[in-house]
């Protein structure tokens, strides 16, 4: 049967990076199990279990990646137990260790500790990529810090902002996501060596009731596995509440992605900002002129999937009776990998978008010209008052002209001619020469450029400082499809 004749998840076959796909692969999972068995054996030997020889440990170490999946599959079909199938397969290639692999442990020693290692490594991958995405967008914000653009509230024209200032709104949410990713990653601990229901009873037999040695064993295996600390108590599994803490930041990131991509899609419709569009890219099979924002549409689509995955963890955590039930297993095999694979794909896509985002200043300028005259009415009134005019009288004069100009725009489809009307109205003659200055868009953007500068220095640079080396090594993001 060829690879094309059976279902493959599009997350791995179509979108995900090789690094993240490997992190949730069988090779990574089962080599991690073998590493955990090795660490347990090393620790047990150090603490006095003489049945574990140096030769046994060396055979285990030499065969961490030498996995015969066919042998494991045959054994699992016979035993209906994946962990024992892999204990058997490991023992065949490390025969001197066959009798001591997994000694004293329960299945969750490898499954749960293995999951925690994989989740930690997954977070390391996405944290690095998120820092790179923020860095790219920060450069965009700096470049366009002072380019005036129409602000929108309710998607209706509002006071001017700048293109760079708007980008800082996106960056700020991404910084919160970075903070949440870091917290979740650093909060992860090890399940440790706790036995079948978390009481370490099996190790009491192994170490003749020596409580200090059992605690030392737990800490030693934890450190050998790359963690400084284990959860102090657990049932058979680590608490599934941890999965909520793992998935919640990822689902929150999905909401950020959806908001950013939607903003860009709306700006693309206005022809102000567009995602990259490649030379030979086809927007529509029928409409040759189309430039569809397909990258941002993909971001929105995948974000909707990511946003709801935390619900799997919430529902699962809520129904874990007593020390554990097995209705957590199948759903975790789906939701945990998919959350990280989807996050990884979103980060690559966002990087690709930000690296090639196109701004059209002339389109932006034209839209400002259409709306700015209405926004400038208060400036006109104030200028007239300074020349000795009566505010209420001036307000009425400009109100009448504004309604006339709005009629031209809305009912006749014409351009906003409010300024031309002011220039032809004798009442406003005292400020005719001032009108160009009163309509300079740069005077309507407040402190937006300075806000961008301050934000980048005080908030973005410190957040990215720990990732300086990773930012040096970043390469352009290429989308395979």
CATH code, domain with 263: 1.20.200.10
Q: Are strands 156-162 and 273-274 parallel, antiparallel or unpaired?
A: unpaired
Residue 450 lies in a domain: no
Mean pLDDT confidence for 139-166: 96
pLDDT at 14: 80
Which residue, 97, 131, 156, sits at the end of a domain? 97
Residue 422 lies in a domain: yes
Q: How many residues does the chain have?
A: 481
Residue 451 lies in a domain: no
- 258 and 135 fall within a common domain: yes
- 193 and 252 fall within a common domain: yes
Segment 363-376, tens digit of pLDDT: 999 999 888 888 88
Mean pLDDT confidence for 7-27: 89
Domain that holds residue 433: 377-438
Residue 70 has a CB neighbour count (10 Å cut-off) of 9
- 336 and 197 fall within a common domain: yes
- 155 and 64 fall within a common domain: no
Residue 16 has a CB neighbour count (10 Å cut-off) of 25
- 392 and 337 fall within a common domain: no
Which residue, 97, 117, 149, sits at the end of a domain? 97
Catalytic residue numbers, as ranges: 154, 284
- 283 and 425 fall within a common domain: no
pLDDT at 79: 83
3-class secondary structure, 231: coil
- 192 and 264 fall within a common domain: yes
The domain that holds 38 is classified in CATH as 1.10.275.10
- 266 and 287 fall within a common domain: yes
Contacts of 82 (CB under 8 A, 6+ apart): 72, 76
- 155 and 260 fall within a common domain: yes
- 44 and 146 fall within a common domain: no
* Res. 1: pLDDT tops 60: no
Question: Whole-prediction pTM value?
Answer: 0.92
User: By CB neighbour count within 10 A (0-12 exposed, 13-18 middle, 19+ buried), where does 212 fall?
Assistant: exposed
- 119 and 160 fall within a common domain: yes
Residue 59 lies in a domain: yes
* Res. 36: pLDDT tops 70: yes
- 330 and 406 fall within a common domain: no
Is residue 336 within 8 A of residue 115, CB to CB? The reply is yes
Alpha helices in 94-210, H assignment, sequence order: 107-143, 163-187, 201-206
């Amino acid at each position: 049967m060829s690879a094309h004749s059976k279902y493959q998840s599009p997350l791995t076959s179509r979108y995900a990076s090789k690094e993240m796909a490997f992190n949730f692969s069988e090779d990574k999972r089962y080599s991690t199990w073998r590493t955990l068995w090795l660490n347990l054996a090393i620790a047990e030997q150090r603490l006095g279990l003489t049945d574990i020889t140096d030769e046994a440990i060396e055979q285990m170490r030499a065969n961490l990646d030498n996995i015969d999946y066919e042998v494991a599959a045959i054994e699992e079909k016979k035993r209906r137990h994946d962990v024992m199938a892999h204990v058997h397969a490991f023992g065949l290639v490390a025969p001197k260790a066959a009798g001591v692999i997994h000694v004293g442990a329960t299945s969750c020693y490898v499954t749960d500790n293995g999951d925690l290692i994989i989740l930690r490594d997954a977070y390391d991958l996405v944290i690095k990529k998120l820092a790179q995405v923020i860095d790219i967008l920060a450069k965009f914000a700096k470049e366009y810090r002072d380019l005036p653009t129409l602000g929108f509230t309710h998607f209706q024209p509002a006071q001017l902002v700048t293109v760079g200032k708007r980008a800082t709104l996106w960056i700020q949410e991404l910084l919160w996501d970075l903070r949440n990713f870091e917290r979740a990653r650093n909060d992860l601990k090890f399940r440790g060596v706790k036995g079948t229901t978390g009481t370490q009873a099996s190790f009491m037999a192994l170490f003749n009731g020596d409580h200090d040695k059992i605690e030392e064993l737990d800490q030693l295996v934890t450190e050998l596995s790359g963690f400084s600390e284990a959860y102090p108590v657990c049932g058979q599994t680590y608490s599934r509440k941890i999965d909520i803490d793992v998935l919640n930041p990822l689902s929150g990131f999905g909401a950020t992605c959806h908001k950013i991509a939607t903003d860009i899609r709306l700006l693309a419709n206005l022809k102000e900002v567009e995602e990259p569009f490649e030379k030979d890219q086809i927007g529509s099979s029928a409409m040759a002129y189309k430039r569809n924002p397909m990258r941002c549409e993909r971001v929105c689509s995948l974000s909707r999937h990511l946003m709801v995955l935390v619900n799997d963890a919430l529902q699962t955590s809520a129904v874990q009776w007593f020390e554990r039930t097995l209705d957590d297993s199948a759903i975790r095999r789906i939701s945990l990998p998919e959350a990280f694979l989807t996050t990884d794909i979103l980060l690559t896509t966002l990087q690709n978008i930000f690296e090639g985002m196109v701004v059209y200043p002339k389109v932006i300028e034209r839209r400002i010209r259409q709306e700015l005259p209405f926004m400038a009415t208060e400036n006109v009134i104030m200028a007239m008052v300074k020349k000795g005019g009566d505010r209420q009288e001036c307000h009425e004069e400009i109100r009448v002209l504004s309604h006339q100009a709005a009629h031209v725009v809305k009912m006749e489809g014409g351009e906003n001619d409010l300024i031309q009307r002011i220039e032809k109205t004798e009442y406003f003659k005292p400020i005719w020469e001032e009108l160009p200055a009163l309509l300079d868009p740069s005077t309507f953007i407040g402190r937006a450029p300075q806000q961008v500068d301050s934000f980048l220095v005080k908030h973005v640079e410190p957040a990215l400082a720990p990732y300086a080396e990773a930012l040096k090594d970043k390469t352009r993001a290429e989308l395979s499809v």
